[in-house]
Amino acid sequence: MVEAGDVAPTFCLPNQDGREVCLDEFSGKWVVLYFYPRDNTSGCTKEALDFTQSLKDFRALGATVLGVSPDSPASHQKFREKHGLAVTLLSDPEHRVLEAYGAWGTKKMYGKEYQGVLRSTAMIDPEGKIAQVWKKVRVKGHVEEVKGVLKSLISEGIR
C-alpha cells in the first residue's frame, strides 16, 4: 500500500468512454483516487453516488475524483447511465494500478479467502505525492471525510 509522502505511482487507464486517462494529465492538481470492487453493487453504488453529489465541492477545491475498479469501460458506462453518475471511472482489469496502490489483496467471505479489490482511497497532492491514504474504507461518511481532509490540507498551504 502506498503511504503518505510516497510519490504516486503513475498510470494510464481507459475511462468509461474508452478514452485513456493518465495521472500526469492532472499535474498541479489534487486527485482523489478511490478504489472500489464492482459496478452496481450496493456499497459501490452508494460510494459513487456520494462522490458524484460532492463533485462540485471537489472541483471548487481544485480536485479531480477518479474511481478505479477491474470492471470494463462498457460496464462503467452502463453503471454511470443507470445511476446518473458524473464521476470518472477507470478500468483496471489486470489490476496493475490496484496492485501499485495496495488496493488489491486477500479478502475473506464466509470463511473463504480470495483475491479482490480492497476498498480504499488515495489523495494525491499537486506535486504528485500521496497526501493521505484511507484503507479499509467504510462507505458511510467517507466522502465527507475525504473532503474535510482536502480542505484542511489546502488551508495548511499545501498546494
CA distance 136 to 99: 15
The CATH architecture that domain 12-17+26-137 belongs to is: 3-Layer(aba) Sandwich (3.40)
Domain residue ranges in the chain = 12-17+26-137
pLDDT at site 65:
98
Helix (H, G, I), strand (E, B) or coil at 45: helix
pLDDT in tens, 57-77: 999 999 999 999 999 999 999
Give the pLDDT of residue 42.
Answer: 87
Question: Phi, psi at residue 110, to the nearest 5°?
Answer: 55, 40
Taking the C-alpha atoms of residue 25 and residue 57, their distance in angstroms, rounded to an integer, is: 20
**Cell 484542511 sits at which residue?**
152
Model's pTM, two decimal places?
A: 0.94
As a residue count, the chain comes to: 159
Residue 157 has pLDDT above 80, yes or no: no
Cβ atoms of residues 150 and 55 within 8 Å: no
The model's pLDDT over 1-17, given as tens digits with 9 standing for 90+, comes to 799 999 999 999 999 99
CA distance 24 to 44: 26
- Grade residue 109 by pLDDT with cuts at 50, 70 and 90: confident
Please identify which of the residues 2, 23, 44, 124 carries the catalytic annotation. Answer: 44
How sure is the predictor about 114, in pLDDT bands with cuts at 50, 70 and 90?
confident
Active-site residue, 44 included? yes
